[in-house]
A = this chain, B = another copy of it.
Amino acid sequence: MAKIQVAVLGATGMIGQRFVQLLEDHPWFEIGGLYASERSEGKGLREVMKVKDHAFKEDTLERKIEQLETKAIAKRCRVAFSGLPTDVAKDAETSLANAGVAVFSNAASHRMENDVPLLIPEVNPEHLDIVKRQRCYKDGGYIVTNANCSTTGLALPLKAIHTAYGLEFVCVSTYQAISGAGYPGVPSLDILGNVHPHIKSEEEKMEAEIFKMLGKKTAKGIDHPKFDMVASCARVPVIDGHMESVALRTSRDASADDIIRTLDKFKPAPQKLDLPTAPVRPIIVRMEADRPQPLFDVYAGEPLRARGMAVTVGRVRQSGNKYTKLWLLSHNTIRGGAGGSVLNAELAKAKRLL
Q: Footprint of B on A, CB under 8 Å?
A: 14, 50, 52-53, 55, 171, 173, 175, 178-179, 183-198, 203, 207, 228-232, 234, 236-239, 243, 245, 247, 289-296, 299, 314-315, 319-320, 322-323, 325, 327
Contact = CB atoms under 8 A, between A and B. Distances in A.
Contact of A292 (B185, B197, B229, B291): B197
Contact of A171 (B171, B175, B234, B327): B171
Contacts of A290: 196-198
Contact of A192 (B193, B195, B207, B234): B193
20 contacts: A52-B295, A55-B299, A171-B171, A173-B232, A175-B234, A183-B189, A186-B187, A189-B239, A191-B192, A192-B239, A193-B239, A193-B295, A195-B238, A195-B293, A195-B294, A197-B290, A197-B292, A197-B327, A230-B325, A236-B236
A207 B319 CA distance: 9
Name the residue among A191, A192, A289, A293 with the largest chain B CB count within 10 angstroms: A192
Nearest to A194: B295
Nearest to A231: B319
Nearest to A197: B327
A293 B189 CA distance: 12
Contacts of A289: 198
Contacts of A52: 189, 293, 295-296
Contacts of A320: 207, 228-230
A238 B184 contact: no
A198 B187 CA distance: 18
The 4 closest A-B pairs by CB, nearest first: A173-B173, A184-B187, A198-B290, A173-B245
Interface hub of A203, A236, A294 (most chain B Cβ within 10 A): A236
Contacts of A171: 171, 230, 247
Contacts of A187: 183-188
Nearest to A236: B236
A296 B50 CA distance: 10
A228 to B, nearest CB: 6
Contacts of A189: 14, 50, 52, 178-179, 183-186, 239
Q: Of A179, A185, A247, A315, which is in contact with the most chain B CB atoms at under 10 Å from its CB?
A: A247
Q: Which of A178, A184, A232, A323 is most buried by chain B, counting CB atoms within 10 A of its CB?
A: A232
